Amino acid sequence: MKKILIYIAMQSEAQPIIDTLGLEQVSILPAALPMKSYQGEDGKQQYLIVTGGKSDLYDVDNVGTEPAAVGLQAALNLFDADLVINAGTAGGWQNKGTNIADVFLGKSPVRYHDHRIPIPTFEAYGKGSYPCIDTSDLAKQLNLKQGFISTSNSLDYNEDCDRLMKQNQADCKEMECAALAWVCHLYQKPFLPVKAITDFVDGEHPTAEQFQANLARTCEALRDAIIKILKIV
């Protein structure tokens, strides 16, 4: 059976997918880690969903690159996945024709827009440039968009982020994908990012307000896309 590992940072992004696939919570990850894991199968494929879990210090979901990298690495040591999917939400750009709840499949390369190391030999390393699988056929079959994904550890952005997001031709601004793509590069795992848009980076309203207002319906769109993708991959 094909093994599919799905990393999802936030519980509210993951729960509709966990429920639809009928997965059971399991305790397979090292006890020290806050990430949660859910397992199950459908006769054709075996699934492991890993979420970032909650921070015991701050009582919020463990979003961002460190939990993503640590969680995926721990999971890959226990579950030798044939495919790694990153499902999550992202900011998008109105001026590129994006709508709220649009779902994007990632395009190579996945990059950072906050790892600025202005030393010539380190600059490219800082930006990163990590591959994902070719999603052209999948996008056509499911009528989904394809886009470049740009990662940082901030929900907001400054002028430098903006400059680098433009360089990255970003369609999706989010907080985990490049770190996960790096782990997949190390472990030589095919990587498929799937991002659903909760907010406009170029919108008039504060990102946090847009994010809260659109989260539920965007997570439903994300679930619908993931379920269709799992029938094809």
Active centre residues (catalytic): 13, 199
Our CB check for ligand ADE shows the closer of 142 and 213 to be: 213
- Smallest distance from ligand ADE to CB 63, Å: 8
Our CB check for ligand ADE shows the closer of 135 and 198 to be: 198
- Residue 48, C-beta contacts closer than 8 angstroms, at least 6 positions apart: 3, 4, 5, 6, 28, 37, 38, 39, 75, 79, 81
Amino acid at 6: I
- Smallest distance from ligand ADE to CB 208, Å: 9
- Smallest distance from ligand ADE to CB 215, Å: 9
Spatial contact of 215 and 162, defined as CB atoms under 8 Å apart: no
Spatial contact of 133 and 190, defined as CB atoms under 8 Å apart: yes
- Which residues of this chain interact with ligand ADE, rule CB under 6 A? 89-91, 155, 173-175, 198-199, 201, 207, 211
Our CB check for ligand ADE shows the closer of 138 and 175 to be: 175
Within the chain, residue ranges assigned H as helices are 11-21, 65-78, 120-127, 136-142, 159-167, 177-187, 207-232
The residue with its CB nearest to ligand ADE is 91
Helix (H, G, I), strand (E, B) or coil at 215: helix
Our CB check for ligand ADE shows the closer of 201 and 229 to be: 201
Spatial contact of 79 and 3, defined as CB atoms under 8 Å apart: yes
- Smallest distance from ligand ADE to CB 104, Å: 12
